[in-house]
Structure 1
Amino acid sequence: MSVKVMMQSSGNKSLAGFTRRISLWLGAAVLLGGAAAVMLVLQLIVFAQIVADLAFQDHALMAEIPALKWLGIFLVARALLQWVADMVAAQGSLRLTSSLRSELLQHLFNVGPVGMASYATGETVTALDAGVEGLEPYFAQYIPRAAMMVVLPFMILATVLHLDGWSFLILACTGPLIPVFMALVGYRAQAIMDRQWTQLLLLGSSFLDALQGMTTLRLFGRARDAVAAVANMADEYRCTTMSVMKVAFLTSAVLEFFASLSIALVAVVFGARLLEGKVDFQSAFLVLLLAPEYFMSLRAFSASYHARQNATAAMVAISKLFALSSVATRHANQPIIEPLVSVKCENLSAEYEAGRTVLSNINCTFTRGTLSLITGESGAGKTTLVRVLLGLLSPIAGRIVAEDAHGIAHAHWQSCIGWVPQRPCLVHGSVVDNLRMANPQADMASLRNVARQADALSFIEALPQGVDTLIGERGACLSGGEVQRLALARVLLRNPQILILDEPTAHLDPKSEQHVAAAIARIALNRIVIVIAHRGAIINHAGQVLRVHKGLIFNGLHMLEHAA
């Protein structure tokens, strides 16, 4: 009954496919619900018999004790069975949504940041959060109630048919009206739900964009405009949500009207026939007890119908995420014991869109102990080359070979890479918390060692609480150079054989730039270090300068001038 195994074995990313993956859970819930329905019918039969015996057969209350015991047994059994059925359905739904979220995250990791670049972050977050959560009521409530809408009414109809043909005819004719009207209203409600979900995605994206661009908005004096735009979108979402609620209330009112009308019709027919003496009280009373339960399952199904509409709308966003193609290179996380001495790019070509080559026939070698610098104008292909090296973008031609001192090529060399982006991500917490993100089991001696290598130990010890100082999200309490050195220390905690840095000295003052450049130069003595940079301090430490120009790579300044 492992949902994770079933999800990995199936590629059907639809509501029907997900339903099949937890068919055992849902089947058990339906069987338990069916048993609870049987207990309900038996409970009402016993109750009708007790009332008839006491009212018309002059039985003493003591004489009905055995029947009262059976009534209590059926009552408790029904409650327990229904509770277990609900728990089984909820458990299967939780397992499915948990596994679905994990599978979706794994797929997004395979897609990589390059493949996700064209997809709004807010839409991704909303789909992973509200979208996946919106599927849970569909499996926990809608599917079991849809099954019970068939099981319980047919069971009651069979009982009523045995008791009274006219009542059977009335219930059989009026019962289907509820699903029919529910389907008619559902078409309109689905359109509103789709619009509501689209507005939710836009609202999430706009809110996240406003938060991320808060500094720029304030500098240009447009913060109030951004707040007003988000407020307007929130108001539109509120209005659409109220429209959904209005449709839901109107639907419930219509269904209640038909259910009440049908029960009243059954009561009137039985009342007239009781006065004429054509039917006994026990049968009439039992039918009147069964009639509300007949419509109860239909009303419960209609009440959960919005869960289907919400799941259908949410599935559109989830399907878009699953439809993203994987552009990242998948590699096993297997450390390489032998030291790597070189990484060679042989006839390497890469592109983001078919027919638009960004890198063309790149040939270069990065060696151990040499700080290799990649430079060039914006848009030349520097970032693309680094993305290919990191495995975030698969090349369309050529290959990358990583060799050790014996000339042996290693297939899983990308697991030995350490990466420091231009703007490192620091989380809210202490210095030691941020460092241990790379290795949660690292001891204090290891932390001090990597901090010393990154020239970060001096400023860490100068902080108020040392390594236990809270630094705030994104290093709010640190300078730009301190953030870079702390990020460098963190990546060194993994002891990578290959270290790639993107503009490590950008946005730094001259003093901080010298500190960071010197630390990188020391680290490059026993590693393969690749740096994207434009500024002079790091260039002075470079042993190899590779200049990228219009998708081609040149070794040294004179070759670029010759090509131009």
Structure 2
Amino acid sequence: MRTQQHTDWQTAGLARRATRWLVAAVILGGASCVLFVLQLATLAHAVDDLTFKGHPLASTYPTLVQVGALCAGSLLLQWLADMAGTEAGLRISASVQRDMLRHLFRAGPVGCAALPAGQIVTTMTEGTAALEPYFAQYIPRAAMMVVLPGLILAMVFHLDGWSFAILACTGPLIPIFMALIGYSAQVIMNRQWVQLVIMGSSFLDSLRGLGTLRLFGQTQASITRMREMAEAHRRATFSVMKVAFLTSAALEFFASLSIALVAVIFGARLLNGTADFRSAFLVLLLAPEYFMPLRAFSASYHARQNATAAAARIAEIFAVPELEANSLQPRNASGTHGAITALECQHVSAAYATATATATATATALDDVCCKFSRNQLTVLTGESGAGKTTLLRVLLGFLPVQSGNITALDMHGHPLTLPQGCAGWLPQRPLMIFGTVADNLHLANPDADMHSLRAAARQADALGFIEALPNGFETMVGERGTLLSGGQIKRLALARVLLRDPEVLCLDEPTANLDTDSAHRIAQTIRQCAANRIVIVATHDPALVRQADQILHIENARVENIVFPKDAAA
């Protein structure tokens, strides 16, 4: 299965996405070649009649019209072939980019974290763009490299045996020599792609950490590193250009040598009277065209190398495993959709995949966790950093698959439920704000929500006051990543966005981290109110939130070591 998936994301597998367009490009190109050969044969016939047979010019008008018609037909068919090839390249590039987005969403945030963000961005932009020239140019030209030389060889074989022998011997030398060069060129292309990925990742990291770089006075050092990486990419690109120049030089050498041999031999035979002008003229017209598809193929050969390197990176992204199912989906559920009264974890274990020098290993993140989360109850997860609090939230949300055990949603009678999609809400430690207005950010949760719903969600999250105080209210721009808002405002706006979906299960990761005392207190009070009529689970180190908890789960070394019910103890 894994081998099959790997094959599907190689260039040969991708070609199946636009088979009809590629076949159309090859057929149209082949028909254009046939008309082109007929055009040259008709032209040679007309020139021979005018020059050596003494026919008047008027008698050759039909032949010249036929030459023009064949020329126009050949050009039209070649244009249609180029359009079909371009359409195939665009369709394949767009479909791969679309499938890559779907796959990344299915892999989830934990799966996407397995690859650098810069590599993902570069592959989705430069990598998919590199596929287009391969299918638009390389494959049709590779087909033409067989069709047109084959037609010309057949024509030359009928006209002159010596010329056929020369062309048949020198023609195959070019693809063989190009293949030998191609092996080393592919290594250079892979090196160039690696340099591009490193440069893209470093540039993205520099932009994200610009404030830190300025704080430590490393801005100039970062610029110097970027300049060095750009120089390394430039050198790798020039290495590719050197190989392309060498390939073109070898092609031109063999082509010129072959045409010269044909011309010299025919010239000598014409002087001796052992060859007729029409055959000699037609062969000399066909000989340069015999190598023309090879020239075009050589010009697009770098597209194959670039696409092969890009396809390898695309396969790496699709190798990231997808989540098999939502972890909240119960096993053997026979019930229908309904209100969730409780979530029950039964001997749940989970692990993160870690890459080693020889294989992919797993690091245990949760080990035999047994617990229960109830409606109308605020559950707080406590423990040291790295103990497994965030991991448990990710497992509940379905971001990380369960290795063993199961998570079951129960109704008021204790029966398992079949959960609808979107029944859980998630507030991460660093909520993402898109570049847009306050309303735009809220509409991410529910694009069809009206203003009344937006205001109700904002009021529930204690965000309506500061939103209405903004210059344009809900139409105020928040800036890139919410830079125009404070940390507390971002947290409350993100909470309002989650509540807009009215989730039955609400998971929050360090909702009061990095906030001032007043903002943290307001967020804590809001979370306490959100526990009414839903399941709320919070991972935190904040004592204020811990004091408001109905249930405290202390996690240590990936296990739930202690469960406390503070309010029951106080009673």
When normalised by structure 2's length, the TM-score is 0.91
Percent identity between the two aligned chains: 56
Runs (4+) of structure 1 moved beyond 6 Å? 8-11
Q: Does 1:437 align with 2:444?
A: yes
1:84-123, aligned counterparts within 5 Å? 84-123=80-119
In the TM superposition, what is the alpha-carbon distance from 1:202 to its structure 2 partner? 1.4
Structure 2 counterparts to residues 334-413 of structure 1, below 5 A: 338-353=338-353, 356-412=363-419
Contact 2:39 2:67 in 1 (8 A): yes
- Between 165-174 and 357-366, the greater mean CA deviation after superposition: 357-366
User: 1:478 maps to which residue?
Assistant: 485
1:41 is matched with: 37
State the match for 1:64 in structure 2. 60
1:463 and 2:470 equivalent?
Answer: yes
What letter is aligned with 1:534? H
- 1:538 matches 2:534: no
Task: State the match for 1:178 in structure 2.
Answer: 174
Within 2, Cα distance between the matches of 1:541 and 1:323?
44
Deviates more, 1:17-26 or 1:478-487: 17-26
CA 1:355–1:239 in structure 2 vs 1: closer, same or farther (change >3 Å)?
A: closer
8 Å contact 1:431–1:470 — kept in the other structure?
A: yes
Alignment of 1:83-232 (within 5 A): 83-232=79-228
Is the CA contact 1:167–1:266 (under 8 Å) kept in the aligned structure 2? yes
Q: What is the DSSP-based 3-state SS (H/G/I as helix, E as strand, rest coil) of the residue aligned with 2:422?
A: helix
Deviation digits for residues 469-493 of structure 1 (CA, Å, limit 9, x no counterpart): 1110111111111001111111112
Answer yes or no: is the 8 Å Cα contact 2:340–2:410 preserved in 1: yes
> CA deviation digits over 1:43-71, x for unaligned, max 9?
11111122222222333333222112211
CA contact (8 A) 2:178 2:247 kept: yes
Query: What is the CA distance between 1:425 and its match in structure 2?
Result: 0.4
Asked if 2 retains the 8 angstrom alpha-carbon contact of 1:422 and 1:506, the reply is: yes
Task: Please tell me the residue identity of whatever aligns with 1:426.
Answer: M
Q: Does structure 1 conserve the Cα–Cα contact (< 8 Å) formed by 2:427 and 2:494?
A: yes
Gaps of 5+ in 1: 1-7, 560-564
Label 1:176 to 1:311 Cα distance change in 2 as closer, same or farther (>3 A): same
1:501 deviates by 0.9
8 Å CA contact 2:28, 2:78 repeated in 1: yes
Structure 1 SS opposite 2:274: coil
Question: Structure 2 vs 1, CA of residues 510 and 530 (structure 1 numbering), >3 Å: closer, same or farther?
Answer: same
Q: Deviations over 1:325-359 (max 9, x none)?
A: 335634899xx852211111111122225674332
Verify the 8 A CA contact 2:327 2:402 in the aligned structure 1: no
**8 Å CA contact retained: 1:329, 1:392:** no
Residue 535 of structure 1 and its aligned partner are, at CA, apart by 1.2
Query: Does the Cα contact within 8 Å between 2:463 and 2:493 map onto a contact in 1?
Result: yes
Q: Quote the offset at 1:386 in angstroms.
A: 0.6
**Alpha carbons 1:112, 1:328 under 8 Å: kept:** no
Q: Secondary structure of 1:526's partner?
A: coil
Contact 2:550 2:565 in 1 (8 A): no
- 57-66 vs 162-171, greater mean Cα deviation: 57-66
Quick check: 1:332–1:415 contact (8 Å CA) kept in 2?
no
Asked whether 1:234 is paired with 2:225, we answer: no
Q: How many residues align?
A: 550
In structure 1, what is the equivalent of residue 284 of structure 2? 288
Letter in 2 for 1:338: G
- What residue in structure 1 maps to residue 357 of structure 2? none
How far residue 547 of structure 1 moved from its aligned partner, in angstroms, is 1.3
Are 1:390 and 1:414, in contact at CA under 8 Å, matched by a contact in 2?
A: no
* 1:274-353 alignment, distance < 5 Å: 274-326=270-322, 329-330=325-326, 338-353=338-353
For residues 57 and 432 of structure 2, the distance between their equivalents in structure 1, rounded to whole angstroms, comes to 76
Aligned CA distance change for structure 1 residues 405 and 558 (closer, same or farther; 3 Å): closer
User: Residues of 2 paired with 1:101 and 1:526: CA distance?
Assistant: 41
d(CA) in 2 for partners of 1:557, 1:491: 28
Deviation (angstroms), 1:86? 1.6
**One-letter amino acid of the counterpart of residue 370, structure 2:** N
The CA deviation string for residues 288-315 of structure 1, in whole angstroms up to 9 with x for no partner, is 1111110001111111111111122222
Name the aligned partner's letter for residue 89 of structure 1: G
- Aligned AA for 2:401? S
Task: State the 1:235 CA deviation.
Answer: 0.4
Query: For the Cα contact (< 8 Å) 2:114–2:320, is it kept in 1?
Result: no
By how many angstroms is 1:172 displaced?
1.1
1:245 aligned onto 2:244:
no
Would you say 1:417 and 2:417 are equivalent positions? no
What CA RMSD, in Å, does the superposition of the two structures yield over aligned residues? 2.2
SS in 1 for 2:532: helix
Q: What stretches of structure 2 of length at least 5 have no aligned partner?
A: 330-335, 354-360, 567-571
Output the CA distance in 2 between the equivalents of 1:152 and 1:332.
61
**In 2, distance between residues paired with 1:499 and 1:291?**
75
Greater Cα shift, 308-317 or 382-391: 308-317
1:431–1:467 Cα contact (<8 Å) kept:
yes
Rounded Cα–Cα distance in structure 2 between residues aligned with 1:187 and 1:483: 53
> How far does residue 185 in structure 1 lie from its aligned partner after superposition?
1.9
Change (3 A) 1:86 1:67: same
Tell me, what secondary structure is at the counterpart of 2:446? coil
**Mean CA deviation greater in 457-466 or 43-52:** 43-52
Which position in structure 1 is the counterpart of 2:433?
426
